[in-house]
Chain A
Amino acid sequence: MPPPTSKRSRYLPWLVIPLLGILILVLPIPARARTSVEHIFKIEATRFAYIPSIIRVNPGDRLTIELTSQDVVHGLAVDGYDLEIQADPGRTARLSFTADRPGTYRLRCSVTCGSMHPFMIGKLQVGNNNLLWRGAGLALLLVLAGVWRGYR
């Protein structure tokens, strides 16, 4: 990336970089077409952990979460879906919904369960994590933009 010399080469990156950025933001990321499937996830909640802590489904899948608490009352709220259940110790609570929004969402305990309660977190991954991929693409682009800007 030698220093730009002509006026055109000096200003061209200001045009190209935002255009590439827009492309990274709007271009669809290919995902395999699948028919929707029904899943049942048995999640054990114990102090400050969900087991399993990460569940993966495809967009459009129907999932049922069976939450069982192993110690105290725990909750499970799904970020971005505005859904919540609570499970008493030894009892199972169920939550069924269709995972129609692609992306990665945090599962959070919604009942105070101890000192690390605010940080009791799990993860629901629905299809591709487009935000992460687009973010990574933009990061790469911004490195080039940063080098160019600093160096010009």
Chain B
Amino acid sequence: MKAAEKVLSRQVRAEDQVRGTGKDRLDLARVPWLRPLIESRWPLFLARAVTLAGFFFTILVGLFGSPVGSHNFAIIFIWIAWWTALKLVFIPLGGRSWCSVCPLPMPGEWLQQGSLISKARKRLGLGLRWPKRLRGYWLQAGLFLVIGLFSAVTLTDPRVTAWVLLGLILLAIALSLVYERRSFCTYVCPIGGFTGIYAQTAPVEVRVVNTAICATHSEKTCYIECPWGIYPVALRDSSQCGLCLECLRVCPKDNIALNLRPFGSDLGTPRRTLRLDEAFLALVMLGSALAFSAVFTGPWGILKNAALAIGSLPWLGYAGAFLSLNLVVLPAAFALAVWLGEKASTRPASLRRAIANWSQALLPLGLFSWIAFTISFALPKFSYIINALSDPLGLGWSLLGSIEVMLNADRFGFAPFLQVAALLVGLYWSVSLIASLVKAETETPRAWRMAVPPAAFSLLYTLLMMGLLVG
């Protein structure tokens, strides 16, 4: 109990508390017809059961189905249907909503709580705290880079996809038996890092309604029951909240809100943190979007074959370029932009603090770059999804009567226009954030100059993406 109190006090102390109970919020938990759905654990359990069944089916089909990626349900379902839905729907509209139904942590969580739905008395696992040195987004960024290095194989070979999924779920189970709560999701899962940072742009949040009520409630049921180990009063942003809504269900004071809020409500206020992990992850996401766009949507066969031939000399060249882009070129360019921006300030902050603060502007830029990249293959390859549903085992079935469908959802060629529009939205949002951060720091007449180098970084990145996707 003492450890829990220590965590709570640190969480509250460490963060500027942002609570969403203002006029621009709509508490969905107060909507009468939604309330029973939110309060009951059954809808979420059923959704999780469906995704878990789908997950194991995907692994089986990946291992034993057609070896040809574009004919295998595992590849199409994971890398076209789910990956597209995550970037076009779940994250932009629901933040970490996917995490609430993600199958990866489920078996481990059920073992941890000793029951499928609510916590039992007899529980499994050591419940150790996650090592301090491994906290933050570093591991997740590293794993995302590893996936990027092997992406040409992972995204196209059903066997590899199946083994990766199997490996991830076994790792999640193993970690949940050693470490407390959702350590795997918070510190290890590369998709968790991806959804986490971009969840700050989404129009959904869980927040405390009245912090004074929490202060007088000594049991802290919300924290005790939260699978993620989050104390809702301390929620600074939505990056760590998995939207399972357990806090809302167990709060005896009915003091938790599930808010609809304006997009990007977590962004735009100066951050005093010195943590660079979020900036690093955001840069890795930018670099990966750039690299994937070149490899998968570019016309350079030599690059595709290099990315595919793992272990060969061309692959080493690809790996070197990919890592250099993510670990050297983009971080150096962004650091230079921030440094130049701070040079124009009358009260320059340390470079570390400035990078941590200004990196928020990379989030809309990155999210919309991923959206633009996704459009490039989701629309032309939409027919694959229908065909995979029609013949999930690759046995020549025609369940939907559409096995030979070659439906091109982009028959009229509007995908490039959507891609440009997405990139422009991301750029505008990013630059607006940069400018509002400058304004929040200082209002001297020439302060706008601070915004120019980071805005130039965003512009240059957008033009590069645009060139790759529609050039």
Contacts and interface: CB of A to CB of B under 8 A. Distances in A.
B423 A135 contact: yes
Interface in B448-469: 448, 451-452, 455-456, 458-459, 462-463, 466-467
Interface in B67-83: 68-71
B314 interface: no
B363 interface: no
A48 B304 contact: yes
B435 interface: yes
B466 A80 contact: no
Contacts of B153: 115
B449 to A, nearest CB: 9
A3 interface: yes
Interface centre among A1, A2, A106, A119 (most CB of B within 10 A): A119
5 contacts: A116-B152, A119-B304, A129-B471, A149-B432, A150-B438
B447 to A, nearest CB: 8
Interface stretch (A7-15, A31-39, A91-99, A137-145): A137-145
Interface in B133-191: 152-153, 156-157
Contacts of A71: none
Interface of B: 68-71, 152-153, 156-157, 295-302, 304-305, 308, 377, 380-381, 384, 406, 410-413, 416-417, 420, 423-424, 427-439, 443, 445-448, 451-452, 455-456, 458-459, 462-463, 466-467, 470-471
B305 A150 contact: no
A109 B128 CA distance: 52
Given A105-B413, A147-B435, A117 B298 contact: no
Contact of A147 (B301, B377, B455): B455
A121 interface: yes
Given A135-B420, A135-B470, A139-B463, A147 B448 contact: yes
B454 to A, nearest CB: 10
B436 A142 contact: no
A136 B463 contact: yes
A146 B430 CA distance: 8
Interface of A: 1-3, 46-51, 53-54, 79-80, 82, 103-108, 110, 112, 114-123, 129, 131-132, 135-136, 138-140, 142-143, 145-151
Given A53-B300, A117-B69, A143 B427 contact: yes
Nearest 10 Cβ contacts at the A-B interface: A49-B301, A150-B435, A146-B431, A80-B413, A115-B156, A53-B299, A150-B436, A135-B420, A150-B432, A146-B432
Given A135-B423, A135-B466, 8 more contacts: A3-B448, A49-B302, A53-B300, A118-B70, A120-B301, A143-B459, A147-B432, A149-B432
Contacts of A115: 68-69, 152-153, 156-157, 308
Contacts of B471: 104, 129, 132
Contacts of A121: 297-299
A104 B300 CA distance: 15
A151 B452 CA distance: 12
Contacts of B411: 82
A116 B448 contact: no
Contacts of B431: 142-143, 145-147, 150
Nearest to B435: A150
B451 A151 contact: yes
Contacts of B439: 150-151
A113 to B, nearest CB: 9
Contacts of A2: 445-446, 448
A129 B299 contact: no
Contacts of A48: 301, 304-305, 308
B301 A150 contact: no
Nearest to B307: A116
A51 B145 CA distance: 30
A16 B452 CA distance: 21
Given A135-B424, A146-B455, A53 B410 contact: no
Contacts of A1: 448
Contacts of A103: 416
A151 B470 contact: no
Given A104-B470, A132-B470, A151 B448 contact: yes
Contact of B299 (A116, A123, A151): A123
A106 B10 CA distance: 54
B312 to A, nearest CB: 14
A115 to B, nearest CB: 4
